[in-house]
Amino acid sequence: MMEPLASLEEQDVTREDVLRASDRVKVQRSRAQGRWLRLFWLLSGPGLLVMLGENDGPSMLSYATTGAVYGVGFFIPFILLTFVMAYLVQEMTVRLGVATYRGHAELIFQRLGPFWGYFAMGDLVFGNLLTLVTEFVAIQAGGMYFGLPRALSVGIGVAIVFSSFALRRYHTWERGMLLLAAGNLLFIPAALLAHPHPGPVLHAVASWGPLPGGFNKKSLVLMLANIGATVTPWMIFFQQSAVVDKGLTPADVTQARLDTALGALLAAIAAIAALIAAAPLYHAHIDVTALSSGADFATALKPYLGHAGAAMFALGMTEAGLVAAMTISTSSSYALAETLSVGRSLNLDFASGRWFYGAAILSTLVAAAVVLIPGAPLLAMILAVNVIATLLMAPALLFLLLLVNDREIMGNLANGWAANLAGGAIILGIAVAGAIYGLMTVSSL
């Protein structure tokens, strides 16, 4: 059984406690006054950030590649389905955070034991480091489109990530990230500048069109990449820890669900916009295997989107990489600090949170260094990372399902049969897709 949290009389009141209590006073005031919009504004953040943060560099390139290879017919409803999956997963994560006041890594160690705790940490660290590399690919690509040298683009990205950790305030960090994450919507005007015909787009949304060329290994890889672009292990670790760091309680679960749903909706719109923006390459029969980065994509799209549309696409790629680099590195920090039972909050100063901040700094530096290796196959690396993320998701989801069904810690927020059915279907679907991909890979050798 989990040990209860110590009372205030039994522990020192820290700066972190004072800041979080100050935020809660504003929440209680707004709730008492019936100011529901302000209450939602105060409680929103983790859901919006996790969804828009997952619309990262590799994800937006996966969506763009999909549009360039297959057009809009099959994959628009497929992308919508993946975001429904993402919401279902993250809604369980929200309930787990508000019910236990613990981060995900901490709970796995406490409830499932050290072996599975270290297994989950290995899964997370491996996936996060690979993904961080591709975030700097996106940052570099955006800078290259505007004529910045590779090293300078990556260096600016590293500096921005580091500066976000100097805020020493979760609330300020979160609001800054939300402002930056709004740049994900740059893909919407880029898509409009592609002048898509409304008929095929609306038909794709209303009915699931056929898959051009039929089902094969290429289409399966893009399907896995699109799932991995939407549902990944770091999202579970990040949102649960962010919910705890923000200080959300069971009374806030409705607003937290709305926050997650709104994030999923906005992220789905941006993802579909990236696909539509790249669809002219499909109609022009452009071979996207020759494109190695977001800069190449933006350059290839310039004849179809114009200078403004291509620039928005490149800026969107840069924003996607930056937001994801900050949120993914923070998810690694939360998990490592929880594993070591040391301070884990963006309210901490550097001395108190040296392990927390140190993990983010080290992983950022390693990822940035890997990106600068000359001759790396960037587009192939990006698609491979999303496929790997999909394959790593099944065990992460299994751990999540076990925890949200633990009524000793969840109480009345535990999963019902419908949530278990949905979660089980997602795990089964991902496992089957991974098995099919493995069989197709072996048979092609």
Instruction: DSSP letter for 169, please.
Output: -
What are the φ and ψ backbone dihedral angles of 49, each rounded to 5 degrees? Answer: -65, -40
> Amino acid identity of 302?
K
What residue ranges do the domains of the chain occupy? 44-443
Position 230 scores a pLDDT of 83
DSSP one-letter code for 293: S
What pLDDT, on a 0 to 100 scale, did the predictor assign at position 295? 65
Per-residue model confidence (pLDDT) at position 197: 82
State the number of CA atoms in the 13 A half-sphere of 6 facing the CB.
7
Residue 214 Rama label (left phi>0; alpha psi -120 to 50; beta)? left
pLDDT of the residue at 198: 83
Residue 72 structure tokens: 């809009």
CA atoms of 428 and 390, how far apart (whole Å): 12
Sign, CA dihedral 315-320-325-327, equals: positive
> Domain 44-443 falls in which CATH fold?
Amino acid/polyamine transporter I (1.20.1740)
C-alpha to C-alpha distance for 348 and 245, rounded to whole angstroms: 11
Cα–Cα–Cα angle for 188, 190, 196, nearest 5°? 85
User: Please, are residues 246 and 45 in contact by the beta-carbon 8 Å criterion?
Assistant: yes
Q: What is the pLDDT of residue 8?
A: 40
Q: What is the pLDDT along the chain (445 residues), one digit of tens a residue?
A: 454 444 444 456 666 667 777 777 888 888 888 888 888 888 889 999 999 988 888 788 889 888 888 888 788 889 999 999 999 999 999 999 999 988 899 999 999 999 998 888 888 888 888 888 888 888 888 888 888 888 898 999 999 988 888 877 888 888 888 998 888 999 999 999 988 888 777 877 777 777 777 777 778 878 887 887 788 888 999 999 999 888 888 989 999 999 999 999 999 999 999 999 998 988 888 877 666 555 678 888 899 999 999 999 989 988 888 998 889 889 989 988 888 888 888 888 888 888 889 888 998 998 888 888 776 666 566 666 766 766 777 888 899 999 999 999 999 999 988 889 988 888 888 777 767 766 665 565 4
List the Cα angle 404/409/413 in 5-degree steps: 55
Q: Is 424 helix (H, G, I), strand (E, B) or coil?
A: helix
pLDDT at 317: 87
Kindly state the tokens that stand for 166. Answer: 């100097």
CA separation, residue 5 to residues 8, 11, 100, 101, 102 (Å): 9, 10, 10, 9, 10
Cα angle, residue 144 at apex, residues 190 and 360 outer, rounded to 5°: 95
Q: What is the DSSP string of 184-248?
A: GGGHHHHHHTT---HHHHHHHHHS----TT-S-HHHHHHHHHHHHTT--HHHHHHHHHHHHHHT-
Query: Can you give the pLDDT at residue 188?
Result: 94
Q: Which of 393, 323, 354, 380 minimizes the C-alpha distance to 126?
A: 393
pLDDT for position 443: 61
From residue 247, give the alpha-carbon distance in Å to each of 24, 244, 369.
7, 5, 35
Would you state the pLDDT for residue 438?
62
pTM, two decimals, is 0.86
pLDDT at residue 382 in the model: 64
